[in-house]
Chain A
Amino acid sequence: MWELSERDLPALSIGASLLGTGGGGNPYLGSLRVRELLRAGHRVRVMEPEALSDDDLLAVAGGMGSPVVSFEKIVQGEEEANAVRALEVLAARSVTAIAPFEMGGGNSMAALCVGAQLDVPVVNGDGMGRAFPELQMITYLIYGGRPFPSAIADEKGNHLVFQDGVDAQWLERIARAVTIEMGGHSGLATSLMNGAHCKASIIPGTLGLAYDIGRTVLAARTDKSDPVDAILDATGGRRVLRGKVVDVERTMTKGFARGRIALEGSGDDEGRQVQVDFQNENLVVWEEGAAVATVPDLVTLVTTDRGEPITTEVVRYGYRADVLVLPCPAKLRTERALEVVGPRAFGFDLDYQPAFS
């Protein structure tokens, strides 16, 4: 059992940002929330999935909605925990652990807050291993978990329970509409499951991975060694290109920021050009008309000098960046998962191109 301390938060933030693949929202406010909970005497305990017993009861908890809203109308603090509590009332049972929703970006911190507030451990793992935009894209649901009952809570005291429904896509649509009505951001609890299902469907170890990535980057910055090499060592990833951003095209469609980043190689990569297509998260890397990496593998841009993740919101001409591709977890590579999170699910007429054999 790993008991988190305040000192672990900067590393966790960097790692979560990196796993956010250009999207996922900024973990800064979330890490402040965890810090305040720790300072108030709460504990954040992290357990390994293997330590779950088959009849443990877990809920998946996180935040849903607009990142812009979450930076302005900061949460009251118990929205996610209240959503879990609503499910507990319905199940007439308390959860014994929390399964994180999404390790990429801001939601990395939400599960830790819930664990602290309900005083139950958080499992080392999550449902994506990165960031994705929609609810049905979590492995707990892809691999047979139940989207119902689910619960949503806001800061005012509105707690909705979705008792039953058709499927995860329906849950996503209705939950998003309710979230907008609540003011653009809500706490969500879903995929109530037993320990057996969690062990079978969770992507294991991702909290620890986020922490390790951040720790090696911070160490490399202090030692003045290459932070990008540190990231690649920690993740088994590889560099596609080291160079400079020379163009960013952006369009808005249906509330999603889509676009294409163009980079020119420098040094050993001089003369090469790559493009990265994104839709909040980075999705496909192209070179000379061929896709060299695609979702669900993790495509991420970091600054060459400090290994700082570059989100699609801020990227612009002039950034000295390394384009990295990290292997996606095995559970995202199955035929079943690819239907939900492969390139076609994002509108590309393209099959998944594994970047690693």
Chain B
Amino acid sequence: MRIGIDVGGTNTDAVLLGQAGVLAKAKTSTTEDVTSGIVTALTDVLEQSGAAAADVTAVMIGTTHFTNAVVQRRDLASVAAIRLGLPATECLPPAVDWPDDLREASGVRPYLVRGGLEFDGREIAPLDLDELDRIAGELRAHDIHSAAITSVFSPIDARMERAAAVHLVERVPSLDITLSHEIGRVGLLERENAAILNASLRDLARRTIAGFLEAVRGLELGAAVYLTQNDGTLMTAEHVERFPVLTFSSGPTNSMRGAGYLSGLSDALVADIGGTTTDVGALTQGFPREASLAVEVGGVRTNFRMPDVLSVALGGGTVVHLDDDARIGPDSVGFRLQQRARVFGGDVLTATDVIAAAGKTNLGDRRLVSDLDARLVADLERRMQEIVDEALDRVRLSTEPLPVIVVGGGRLLVTRAVRGASRMVVPEHSEVANAIGAAIAQVSGQIDRVVSLANTTREAAIAEARADAESQAVKAGADPSTVQLLDAEDVPLAYLPGNASRVHVKVVGDLAAGHRI
């Protein structure tokens, strides 16, 4: 049996998953120390199911804790942002495009160093070790414990980033180092930004992981503890301490994967309808499709692989403005639905009230909205449905009809089949879809590199990348007999000579039974 936990901004959810499916589920408020809320949720599911602690083999945790720290500008540590690339890149130093408040909150100290590579692996300049020595002195003098090292074209060849890390750690042994090539892709500022964010979160990550482990061990669960990352696969707790940014979008990812599990579908569109927004995405082979462009976190441009989720302003609490041409939203009463909505005795006309007036839900007291004109209600219902239809159509990749899975507390807003849906699925237990997504997470290995096809073939490059990805997955805890190819693609790079291509291979496998870190 495994336990999946989702530590959100408001709620901590837990689910106990066994062979038979969902055995127990619990929802409690997230506590400031994080630990207490997890203990409550864990205790709850164990008691409900009567399961023994010894029967739980793994605990998987998905959390938005680190995203929230960035968005709220708190708990961020000072960082040395070291870029290897001079004489190139000089005009735009590290963090040049950050919002001022975030730059201050995270105490970024930018350093530019001679080094870096050209697109074909030649050095731009030899790595300037003397400058690194000088930087090491400053870091010691100012008590800076965390550094991000970003070298030009490191996604092609990471040798300079590694050499710089070795050199710095020899001189500042307590330094936590984040290497950009382990975080992001080609695109210097975006990758560097991601690395700097990661570096600023490492102290928080250490404390948070300790809190998670304390919660689990406190209940005498000997289970291995993992966290889920952006792509829905597992990272060991130790790995999260080094790469907290990889958890940034695990919330939406787990929600979509959980929806897939609950519906039994691996290829579908998913609409998660909450109190304020509807988030839609596409599941392919059980995983959310990834966004291809820069993604902003807290106002900073980054290029993680994040799920392609479209958010529209329609949820259960969305306000309908009768005095403004029956405008729907974008404002919402959010989690105050049960105080403010008319069917609960409040005075705000919300999307939930419209559905109640249409007779399509038993929520609340329908008599409290019986004064609404029937045609108006029908029109509003139709328009709300169209917002959902339109959002789902925008995340499609083709006209092919697909199943549509609807989850979330606001799912009552969908009253007829979505346009272009081959069928509609509204599964049970969807309020803990996030925790379920965490519980079913697999282990992955992933290679994303730029290769020159001048001396090799496309097939050979992909095969080599696949072998590397598979050994990565096994090292991370995958059972080798379950490892499968999830995605393999190569994208020729326009304008770049030397027949360069970006090769991306991802494999996933089940967690090996009894795997311990």
Residues on B with C-beta less than 8 A from A184 are 118-119, 495-497
A337 within 8 A of B: no
For the complex, what is the distance from the CA of A246 to the CA of B396, rounded to whole Å?
10
For the complex, what is the distance from the CA of A256 to the CA of B495, rounded to whole Å?
6
Given contacts A183-B118, A317-B398, contact A76 B87 (CB under 8 A): yes
For the complex, what is the distance from the CA of A156 to the CA of B189, rounded to whole Å?
21
The stretch from B4-12, B88-96, B347-355 touching chain A is B88-96
Interface residues of A in 240-277 (CB under 8 A from B): 246, 252, 255-257
A32 near B495: Cβ-Cβ < 8 Å: no
Residues on B with C-beta less than 8 A from A1 are none
B393 within 8 A of A: yes
Residues on A with C-beta less than 8 A from B292 are 314
Interface residues of A in 109-146 (CB under 8 A from B): none
* Minimum CB–CB distance for A9 against chain B, Å: 12
* Minimum CB–CB distance for A241 against chain B, Å: 18
The residue of chain B having its C-beta at the shortest distance from the C-beta of A31 within the complex is B97
For the complex, what is the distance from the CA of A272 to the CA of B147, rounded to whole Å?
56
The residue of chain A having its C-beta at the shortest distance from the C-beta of B493 within the complex is A68
* Interface of chain B: mostly helix, strand, loop or mixed: loop
The residue of chain A having its C-beta at the shortest distance from the C-beta of B282 within the complex is A318
B188 near A318: Cβ-Cβ < 8 Å: no
A205 within 8 A of B: no
Residues on B with C-beta less than 8 A from A322 are none
Given contacts A67-B495, A69-B119, contact A76 B293 (CB under 8 A): no
For the complex, what is the distance from the CA of A36 to the CA of B492, rounded to whole Å?
33
* Minimum CB–CB distance for B297 against chain A, Å: 17
A77 within 8 A of B: yes
Residues on B with C-beta less than 8 A from A320 are 394
B293 near A252: Cβ-Cβ < 8 Å: no
B399 near A246: Cβ-Cβ < 8 Å: yes
Residues on A with C-beta less than 8 A from B401 are none
C-beta contact mask, B319-346 vs A, less than 8 Å → 1, else 0?
0000000000000000000000000000
A280 near B89: Cβ-Cβ < 8 Å: no
Partner of A73, one of B188, B492, B493: B188
B492 near A32: Cβ-Cβ < 8 Å: no
* Minimum CB–CB distance for A242 against chain B, Å: 15
* Minimum CB–CB distance for B484 against chain A, Å: 26
Partner of A72, one of B97, B152, B396: B152
Partner of B494, one of A68, A74, A317: A68
For the complex, what is the distance from the CA of A155 to the CA of B495, rounded to whole Å?
20
B124 near A68: Cβ-Cβ < 8 Å: no
For the complex, what is the distance from the CA of A77 to the CA of B186, rounded to whole Å?
20
Interface residues of B in 370-416 (CB under 8 A from A): 393-399
How many residues of chain A are within 8 Å of chain B by beta carbon?
Answer: 34
For the complex, what is the distance from the CA of A294 to the CA of B287, rounded to whole Å?
41
B218 within 8 A of A: no
For the complex, what is the distance from the CA of A156 to the CA of B152, rounded to whole Å?
15
B116 within 8 A of A: yes
Residues on B with C-beta less than 8 A from A318 are 393-397
Residues on A with C-beta less than 8 A from B118 are 73, 183-184
B119 near A73: Cβ-Cβ < 8 Å: yes
A75 within 8 A of B: yes
Residues on B with C-beta less than 8 A from A32 are 92, 96-97
Residues on A with C-beta less than 8 A from B497 are 66, 180, 184, 255
Residues on B with C-beta less than 8 A from A306 are none
* Minimum CB–CB distance for B187 against chain A, Å: 5
A29 within 8 A of B: yes
Residues on A with C-beta less than 8 A from B122 are 183
A65 within 8 A of B: yes
Partner of B90, one of A29, A77, A180, A256: A77
C-beta contact mask, A200-233 vs B, less than 8 Å → 1, else 0?
0000000000000000000000000000000000
For the complex, what is the distance from the CA of A36 to the CA of B189, rounded to whole Å?
15
* Minimum CB–CB distance for A186 against chain B, Å: 12
Residues on B with C-beta less than 8 A from A73 are 85, 88-89, 116, 118-119, 124, 152-153, 188
A77 near B495: Cβ-Cβ < 8 Å: no
Most buried by A among B88, B189, B396: B88
* Minimum CB–CB distance for B312 against chain A, Å: 11
Given contacts A73-B119, A184-B118, contact A29 B189 (CB under 8 A): yes
For the complex, what is the distance from the CA of A184 to the CA of B116, rounded to whole Å?
14
Residues on A with C-beta less than 8 A from B496 are 66, 68-69, 184, 255
Residues on B with C-beta less than 8 A from A72 are 119, 152-153, 186-188
Most buried by B among A73, A157, A180, A316: A73
Interface residues of B in 99-121 (CB under 8 A from A): 116, 118-119
The residue of chain A having its C-beta at the shortest distance from the C-beta of B502 within the complex is A68
Residues on B with C-beta less than 8 A from A252 are 492, 494
For the complex, what is the distance from the CA of A298 to the CA of B393, rounded to whole Å?
29
For the complex, what is the distance from the CA of A29 to the CA of B294, rounded to whole Å?
13
A33 within 8 A of B: yes
The residue of chain A having its C-beta at the shortest distance from the C-beta of B495 within the complex is A66
A348 within 8 A of B: no
The residue of chain B having its C-beta at the shortest distance from the C-beta of A156 within the complex is B87
For the complex, what is the distance from the CA of A74 to the CA of B492, rounded to whole Å?
21
For the complex, what is the distance from the CA of A74 to the CA of B97, rounded to whole Å?
14
Residues on A with C-beta less than 8 A from B86 are 76
A2 within 8 A of B: no
Residues on B with C-beta less than 8 A from A77 are 90-92
Residues on A with C-beta less than 8 A from B397 are 316-318
Residues on A with C-beta less than 8 A from B493 are 68
Partner of B187, one of A71, A75, A246, A313: A71
A314 near B293: Cβ-Cβ < 8 Å: yes
Most buried by B among A32, A33, A184, A256: A184
Residues on A with C-beta less than 8 A from B87 are 76, 155-157
C-beta contact mask, B292-325 vs A, less than 8 Å → 1, else 0?
1100000000000000000000000000000000
A317 near B396: Cβ-Cβ < 8 Å: yes
Residues on A with C-beta less than 8 A from B152 are 72-73
For the complex, what is the distance from the CA of A82 to the CA of B7, rounded to whole Å?
54
Given contacts A184-B119, A318-B396, contact A76 B495 (CB under 8 A): no
Residues on B with C-beta less than 8 A from A29 are 92, 189
For the complex, what is the distance from the CA of A69 to the CA of B450, rounded to whole Å?
12
Closest 5 CB pairs of A and B: A77-B91, A66-B495, A74-B89, A183-B118, A252-B492
If A155-B87, A184-B118 are given as contacts, then 20 extra A-B residue pairs at C-beta distance below 8 Å, sorted by A number, are A29-B189, A33-B92, A65-B495, A67-B495, A71-B186, A71-B188, A72-B186, A73-B116, A73-B152, A73-B188, A74-B88, A76-B87, A76-B88, A77-B91, A155-B90, A155-B124, A180-B497, A183-B118, A255-B495, A280-B494
9 contacts between A and B (CB under 8 A): A29-B92, A32-B92, A66-B496, A67-B495, A68-B186, A69-B119, A72-B153, A74-B188, A255-B497
